[in-house]
Amino acid sequence: MAAQSNGNPAECFIKIPNIKFTKLFINGQFVDSVSGKTFETVDPRTEEVITRIAEGGKEDVDLAVKAARDAFDNGPWPRLPGCERRRIMLKFADLIEENTEELAALDAIDGGKLFHFAKTRDIPSAADTFRYYAGAADKIHGETLKMSRELQAYTLREPIGVVGHITPWNFPAQMFSAKVGPSLAAGCTMVVKPAEQTCLSALFYAHLSKLAGIPDGVINVITGYGHTAGAAISSHMDIDKVSFTGSTAVGRLIMQAAATSNLKPVSLELGGKSPVLIFEDADVDKAVDLALLGTLFNKASEFFSFGLNHVYKKYFLAFWPNSKLQNFDILSGRTGSRVFVQEGIYEEFVKELAERVKSWVVGDPFDPDVRQGPQVDKKQYERILSYVEHGKREGATLLAGGKPCDRKGYYIEPTIFADVRDDMIIAKEEIFGPVMSVFRFKTMDEAIKRANATEYGLAAGIVTNDLNIANTVSRSIRAGIVWINCYFAFDRDCPYGGYKLSGFGRDLGMDALDKYLQVKAVATPIYNSPWL
């Protein structure tokens, strides 16, 4: 059983911030929803209501889109020199960094994020992502074309227009920066709908954007539910592009809405059931550390981090002073919930895994000794527990966990199943919680085939000391990113996205800019050409 923290209240670790912003942010102002409706946001640590937030609906989306459209068609942002957009975005990044502690605390009370990780990594990484794209704002260029006829031509890369961003709950800071950063650099205006579970920091970012000098109407934030506010964004005739991160089921609905409205392009980063393939030549201690990190870190809802710094590494090693990962890249990424272990080391791996998880401390995310906080809300908490029951009923061997923690809040013990079969529900469906499934395999070809036997294709990990195995498997796995002898090795320079039902389009890197730009060709005849 994993250790539980029963320490002092969170207030002993950090002062809980006062909630300053709970209204919609439209055209540079915080306003009530048209309907006057609000909804509760709940602290997953205590199951108590934090505050009530304005519930945006279709009418509010209409107002936000109108503001964004006017800012795009008539406002300064798309017309500013890139260097001026860069200056303002750098100011925005500085303001985020100046408010790191408050933003980290908001994500801890709103979504159960580990405060110290948010403070040392998530929020600074979000600020640096804005700096990264600020550096791109004045480097967006077209091409001069060598034509086959007597013509001169060139291309322009222009902002696509008004963008709708719909973000998930698991990484509020980084998802906001990964989507808003490149679209700002491109010169777009936007309407952002954060997940209803984690709205508080998005509204704070909206406040900081105004302080930074981003013109009114460029960033609008509509809080509310997916089936109302999110649906209105997806189907809106005056939104030119939608970027969504979330479930595959909702991604399908967004594509349908976009297709039946104004045929707007969409980019989707969707679900995953990512495999980690551990070969028998690997160091078992290192492999166990990677498997635990890949499955349990951030409650197994980890998407990505945008850079490893000494503070983050120091904090991780404080958790795991004897970790074998000290020379590995240990950044957060897509959960590796299917762990395939070659039969030669399977028994040793499983035994060490069961022993190591006992020290995984679950508790209040403000407690610096805690490695796993609560699940984001009651719905997700109950969903994860239902999958755990499926695993038990289907005959998988329960190595650890398998039940709620004995305390108030949405806490679940880290759960590990061994001897999992490919046809089990826990092997096929995305759980998005601290549940690991361990499989046994014999040959490399078998491992590749079983790893690819999923409708998803977001990420994969390979643990081996054999270069031939690493090269063969990495080229054979159908996933958007493959990590060799590391996991969660993300960087803001590295594009990220999925294959198959894990979506299409890429966040991060310069590739992300392409989502928010369109290419215009301009051609003119050369003097005395037959075209005159």
Structure confidence at residue 343 (pLDDT): 96
For residue 160 the two structure tokens come to: 């696509």
Q: Read out DSSP for 219-288?
A: EEE--S-IIIIIHHHHH-TT--EEEEES-HHHHHHHHHHHHHTT---EEEE-----EEEE-TTS-HHHHH
CATH superfamily of 275-496: Aldehyde Dehydrogenase; Chain A, domain 2 (3.40.309.10)
Selecting among 55, 196, 269, 302, the annotated active-site residue is 269
pLDDT, tens digit, 9 for 90 and up, residues 462-482: 999 999 999 999 999 999 999
Q: Does 30 score more than 50 pLDDT? A: yes
**Which DSSP letter does residue 19 get?**
P
Mean pLDDT of the chain: 88
User: Given this model, what pLDDT does residue 296 score?
Assistant: 64
Q: Which two tokens stand for residue 234?
A: 């997806």
Q: Please give the DSSP secondary-structure letter assigned to residue 9.
A: -
Instruction: Characterize 387-422 residue by residue with b for buried, 16 or more Cβ atoms within 10 angstroms of its Cβ, and e for exposed.
Output: bbebbeeeebeebbbbebbeeebbbbbbbbbbbbee
The pLDDT value given to residue 8: 47
| Average pLDDT rounded to a whole number, residues 182-208 | 97
- Tokens 């679900």 — which residue? 271
Read off the pLDDT of residues 363-390 as tens digits, 9 standing for 90 and up.
Answer: 888 888 888 888 888 888 999 999 999 9
pLDDT digits over 295-306, tens only?
Answer: 665 444 443 332
Average pLDDT over residues 218-233: 97
Q: What is the pLDDT of residues 31-53, one digit of tens each?
A: 999 999 999 999 999 999 999 99
Is residue 330 scored above 50 in pLDDT? no
- In this prediction, residue 336 carries a pLDDT of 56
Quote the strand ranges of 35-75, DSSP E.
38-43, 48-54
* Least confident segment among 190-204, 349-363, 456-470, 504-518: 349-363
How confident is the model over 200-221, as pLDDT tens digits? 999 999 999 999 999 999 999 9
Domain ranges of the chain: 33-270+506-518, 275-496
Q: Active site includes 269?
A: yes
Residue 68 parent element (H or E): helix 58-73
For residue 446, give both structure tokens: 């078998």
Beta strands 29-31 and 24-26, pairing class = antiparallel
Helix (H) or strand (E) holding 469: helix 467-476
pLDDT value of position 328: 31
Same fold, 33-270+506-518 and 275-496: no
**Which homologous superfamily is 33-270+506-518 in?**
Aldehyde Dehydrogenase; Chain A, domain 1 (3.40.605.10)
What confidence score (pLDDT) does residue 370 get? 85
pLDDT at 100 over 70: yes
